[in-house]
Structure 1
Amino acid sequence: MTLVAFNSPPHKGSYPTIRTARGAVRRTAARRLQGRILTAAGLALLPWLGYLAGTLPPAEATAWVALDALEAAALLTAGTRLLRADPRHRAPAAAAAVLLLADAGIDLATAAPGQELATAMVMAVGAELPLAALCVVLALRPAHRPTPRR
């Protein structure tokens, strides 16, 4: 299903307007890019889950794998919904933002000084916080812009 989301649109290079019970949503280039970013981030977490499960002690692995699996699920859900212009992308985007912020905070709080702390800071600044910011913007932005009354 995810691979289908990256294919070209079937209708003359543009995505149609999707009409739902909650209103019409237009698939814009920005929304497609945001959807691709979230979907790619969710997919990138899948091999990371295996790495964590194989390298961490069992007690730690359970906690980190669970947290990162929830992040991956939220990112994939929000991303694929954005790609389909589904207005229900806001709740998973909000969940992903909270999980990403928690992950960054816990990583920084539990990292040992030195290389481990530096790695946690790079991950937080380079990946987790920007993704969380994007998710917050997507969660707070209305699904469609209301038309002005005349």
Structure 2
Amino acid sequence: IDGQKMTQRVLYENGQPAKMVMQSAELGDTLIYIDVAAKHMVIYDPSDNTAIESELDDESAGDFTEILVNADNLVKEVDILSVEDVNGVSCWVVETTMEGEEAKAKVWIDREFGLIRQIDDGETPITIEYSRLNEIPEAEFEVPQV
């Protein structure tokens, strides 16, 4: 978000995002909990132990899952340009035409796991770091008691 680091923890079920927790420097200590299947969102501020709950309609729930970058639905054309490292990870650098767009973007795709590591559309470059793959306990997606 505007050059700030954002952390997302995502629980996938059947290959689709089911629950997520987001935090960024811009939000301070505030956490955003989203249950995609239940279409439910909680914004939790631990500094004063308060929460705001809201229901998400289909469009809003989709907006949050679109934040998760997925190479399968990202591109309609791909040209491999080179191989480069992003944070020590060997990646294919591809030039793509984004789905629904005419403009091209560069995308760095992890050669081992196929995960997107970086995107540059000429406007807002995004670098994505993954950690603890397959190790996040479901309890981390539960909203604290208020």
- Structure 1 length as normaliser, TM-score? 0.28
Could you say which structure has the larger radius of gyration?
A: 1
Q: Which has the higher contact order (CA 8 A, sep 6+)?
A: 1
More helix by share: 1
